């Protein structure tokens, strides 16, 4: 590993700190976790260990890179628009009535502004919107209290023999908490006979599995007309 790093353009960020702190007193703290970075970024990088450990005896490593570039982050979509429940007749009527009661525009830019504003206003009145519920549920207080106790003890004395028992207790508490969450969720959904769609959707979310999108096939009928949408296909079959 040392030869690979020396023969590359990377440099090591690790400081003189152990990255693994075993609970067993017979074992010595070690540094098996090695962080490397390109040499042109090494002077802009900061490496430090987190004081909040994971379940593992490996301590989390936080790397911060300071750059002058503005990175475009992916948007975190928190809202939705329900087009299926939109009142399209009222939507159309409001726009048409508003345009009839508006003075004719003198140029194309003013016309575009008026039409855009009317569409947005009708959208606000007749197309339902909402916010997505948070799927991530925080751990209950009694589990967080044990985790805080473990973290404080580990920070003050990484070789304390009580850390191992606290880790096991935390794992046990979380394992017991998850089935209770699942049971509560099932009670909210109800029987599968009444709400099978929500049940399967919940199962897919828990398995981190998205159902495959159905392929949209174009159908050509005897009149050489191509039906693309589901509605077009239905009309042509009729």
Type and span of the H or E element at 185: helix 162-189
Is 111:11 a contact under the CB 8 Å cutoff?
A: no
Burial class (CB in 10 A: 0-12, 13-18, 19+), 119: middle
Q: Is the pTM of this model over 0.85?
A: no
Measured distance CA(230)–CA(148) in Å, rounded: 56
Dihedral, CA atoms, 178, 183, 186, 192, nearest 10 degrees?
120
Q: Tell how strand 10-12 and strand 36-38 pair up.
A: antiparallel
Segment 162-214, tens digit of pLDDT: 888 888 888 888 888 888 877 777 777 666 566 677 777 777 766 655 555 55
Measured distance CA(187)–CA(58) in Å, rounded: 38
Burial class (CB in 10 A: 0-12, 13-18, 19+), 150: buried
Measured distance CA(221)–CA(100) in Å, rounded: 41
Q: Tell how strand 79-81 and strand 129-131 pair up.
A: antiparallel
Q: What is the pLDDT along the chain (238 residues), one digit of tens a residue?
A: 887 887 788 889 998 888 888 777 778 888 899 999 988 888 889 999 887 767 778 889 999 988 776 656 566 667 788 888 999 999 999 999 999 999 988 999 999 999 999 999 999 999 998 876 655 667 888 888 998 888 888 888 877 888 888 888 888 888 888 888 777 777 776 665 666 777 777 777 666 555 555 566 788 887 778 888 888 888 888 8
Distance of CA 166 to the CA centre of its chain: 30
The pair of structure tokens assigned to 227 is 């039906």
DSSP type of residue 58 = B
Picking from 171, 178, 105, the residue whose alpha carbon sits closest to that of residue 136 is: 178
């Amino acid at each position: 590993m040392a030869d690979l790093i020396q023969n590359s353009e990377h440099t090591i960020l690790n400081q003189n700190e152990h990255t693994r702190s075993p609970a067993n007193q017979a074992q010595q703290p070690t540094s098996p976790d090695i962080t490397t970075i390109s040499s042109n970024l090494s002077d802009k990088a900061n490496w430090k260990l987190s004081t909040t450990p994971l379940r593992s005896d490996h301590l989390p490593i936080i790397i911060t890179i300071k750059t002058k570039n503005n990175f475009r982050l992916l948007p975190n979509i928190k809202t939705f628009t329900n087009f299926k429940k939109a009142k399209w007749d009222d939507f159309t009527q409001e726009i048409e009535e508003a345009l009839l009661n508006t003075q004719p525009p003198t140029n194309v830019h003013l016309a575009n502004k008026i039409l855009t504003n009317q569409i947005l206003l009708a959208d606000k009145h007749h197309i339902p919107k909402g916010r997505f519920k948070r799927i991530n549920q925080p751990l209950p207080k009694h589990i967080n209290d044990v985790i805080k106790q473990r973290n404080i003890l580990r920070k003050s004395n990484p070789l304390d023999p009580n850390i191992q028992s606290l880790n096991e207790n935390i794992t046990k508490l979380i394992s017991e908490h998850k089935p209770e969450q699942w049971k509560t969720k099932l009670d909210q959904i109800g029987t599968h006979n009444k709400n099978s769609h929500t049940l399967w959707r919940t199962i897919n979310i828990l398995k981190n599995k998205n159902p495959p999108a159905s392929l949209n096939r174009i159908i050509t009928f005897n009149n050489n007309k191509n039906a693309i949408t589901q509605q077009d296909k239905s009309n042509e079959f009729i």
